[in-house]
Amino acid sequence: MNKIANIREELIRRDLDALLVTDEKNQRYAAGFPFTDGVVLVGREKAFLLTDSRYIEAAGAAVDADVSVRLFDGEHPLAEKLKEALAETGAARVAAEDRKLSHGAFLDWEKKLGLTLLPAGDLFVKLRAVKSEEELASMIRAQRISEAALEEVLRLIRPGMTEREVAAELVYRMLRHGSEGNSFDPIVVTGAKTSMPHGVPGDCVIRPGDFVTMDFGCLKDGYCSDMTRTVAVGSATEEMKNVYSTVLRAQLAGIAAAKAGVRGKDIDAAARRVITDAGYGPYFGHGFGHCLGLDIHEPPTAGPSGEAPLPAGAVSSAEPGIYLPGRFGVRIEDVMILREDGAEVITRAPKDELIIL
């Protein structure tokens, strides 16, 4: 079943006639083409992508066969062409993404179209949570690109390099291996800065005996990868090794607890218990994982607030950490697919023991 068919099923279930799609990621999900600077309209029988002259040729070649591509321009503005498309659908009950549009933009679309839009912001949340095999294949390709870049960068890291230099190497090498861009700004921190989960790469210099934490990912076919590895340079103290071992055991416990139908908070609890029992409970401040896909953070969550069961086909990170303020921190992150019988980890980069460069 293609994405348009999925949306149409939801329209029927919700007693809606059409859906106005303005968010770029949702447009890509629906029509298979990003960067429209326009809109996608999905009706029960007809679907349209409205774009301008910059994208009309590429859109016509890329969109799904059951999506009609229409051009708007200065003489025939977007609102006018959208009203024409709506007339073709015969839609009376039209919904929009109230969770993506600002209140002002929502009201502005109502005024332009001369109708009352119905809220359907959770429609894409539900649909995008479950990945098709095609989507999963894109995410696995993105993961392999990230891993190839990491393998090369691990051979380059040495005392005297800065965080910024390591981050630049990761980005460059992901691009060389086929990345379409970063799924988020890479986090590369060393020394005491590894105690900051979202530290920003700067001019701090790597020194012998430091941890280096690298959290990064790329895009392939619009889909994200995400991974974190913490490595030691030259040597590691017994405490550093113990913290690393604890984080790894916590991650493996969370992965073992993960499968379709399990609440996110229960997956988190399985990992958190390991860290708490080791005496580091106060130093694990974030959740075990987050779902990802076209966006790097998508619902549902595998964290303490995750009341919803994760569906089969959801893709989640697995990234517990321990952060000792002003000293050091460790995070290990893989990505896993939730299956009926357990979690399928798609990350292959080594982690089973602390890597000392």
DSSP state of 259: -
DSSP 1-20: --HHHHHHHHHHHTT-SEEE
Distance CA 319, CA 13 (A): 36
Query: In this predicted structure, what is the pLDDT of residue 36?
Result: 75
pLDDT digits (tens, 9 = 90+) for 320-351: 999 999 999 999 999 999 999 999 999 999 99
- Same domain assignment for residues 173 and 297: yes
pLDDT digits (tens, 9 = 90+) for 55-78: 999 998 888 878 999 999 999 999
Query: In this predicted structure, what is the pLDDT of residue 131?
Result: 97
Query: In this predicted structure, what is the pLDDT of residue 37?
Result: 86
pLDDT tier at 121, thresholds 50, 70, 90:
confident
Distance CA 87, CA 294 (A): 31
- pLDDT for residue 177 is more than 70: yes
Distance CA 46, CA 31 (A): 12
Q: How many domains is the chain partitioned into structurally?
A: 2
Q: Which of 80, 101, 128 is the last residue of a domain?
A: 128
Query: In this predicted structure, what is the pLDDT of residue 2?
Result: 82
- Same domain assignment for residues 89 and 174: no
Are the C-beta atoms of residues 211 and 327 closer than 8 Å to each other?
A: no
Per the structure, the complete domain to which residue 89 belongs is given by 3-128
- pLDDT for residue 1 is more than 60: no
Residues 6+ apart with CB under 8 A from 100: 22, 23, 26, 121
Which among 106, 104, 130 has a CA at the least distance from the CA of 120?
Answer: 106
Q: Average of pLDDT values for 14-21?
A: 97
- Same domain assignment for residues 330 and 182: yes
3-state SS, residue 31: helix
As a whole number, the mean pLDDT across the chain is 96
Q: Average of pLDDT values for 166-177?
A: 98
What's at 19, amino acid-wise? L
Alpha-carbon separation of residue 102 from 93, 107, 109, 121 (angstroms): 20, 9, 11, 12
The reply to whether 353 falls in a domain is: no
Give the number of other CB atoms < 10 A from CB of residue 51: 27
Distance CA 241, CA 215 (A): 19
**Two tokens, residue 166:** 């390591």
Distance CA 249, CA 331 (A): 12
pLDDT tier at 17, thresholds 50, 70, 90:
very high
Query: In this predicted structure, what is the pLDDT of residue 283?
Result: 98
- Same domain assignment for residues 196 and 309: yes
Q: CATH number of the domain that 38 lies in?
A: 3.40.350.10
The reply to whether 357 falls in a domain is: no
Q: Which of 110, 128, 146 is the last residue of a domain?
A: 128
Q: Average of pLDDT values for 208-217?
A: 98
- Same domain assignment for residues 275 and 310: yes
Quickly list H helices, the chain: 3-13, 24-31, 56-62, 78-89, 103-113, 122-129, 133-154, 163-176, 238-257, 264-277
DSSP 196-212: STTPPP-SPBP-TT-EE
**Two tokens, residue 262:** 């399990």
Q: Count of alpha carbons within 13 Å of 8, Cβ hemisphere only?
A: 15
pLDDT digits (tens, 9 = 90+) for 254-304: 999 999 999 999 999 999 999 999 999 999 999 999 999 999 999 999 999
pLDDT digits (tens, 9 = 90+) for 250-264: 999 999 999 999 999
Query: In this predicted structure, what is the pLDDT of residue 184?
Result: 98
Question: What is the 3-state secondary structure of 208-234?
Answer: CCCEEEEEECEEECCEECCEEEEEECC
The reply to whether 356 falls in a domain is: no
This prediction's pTM: 0.94
Residue 99 backbone zone (phi > 0: left; psi -120 to 50: alpha; other: beta): alpha
Alpha-carbon separation of residue 340 from 18, 136, 345 (angstroms): 33, 16, 14
Q: CATH number of the domain that 300 lies in?
A: 3.90.230.10
pLDDT digits (tens, 9 = 90+) for 146-166: 999 999 999 999 999 999 999
Are the C-beta atoms of residues 272 and 281 closer than 8 Å to each other?
A: yes
Q: Which residue has the tokens 């949702």?
A: 26
- Same domain assignment for residues 309 and 206: yes
Query: In this predicted structure, what is the pLDDT of residue 79?
Result: 95
Q: Average of pLDDT values for 106-127?
A: 94
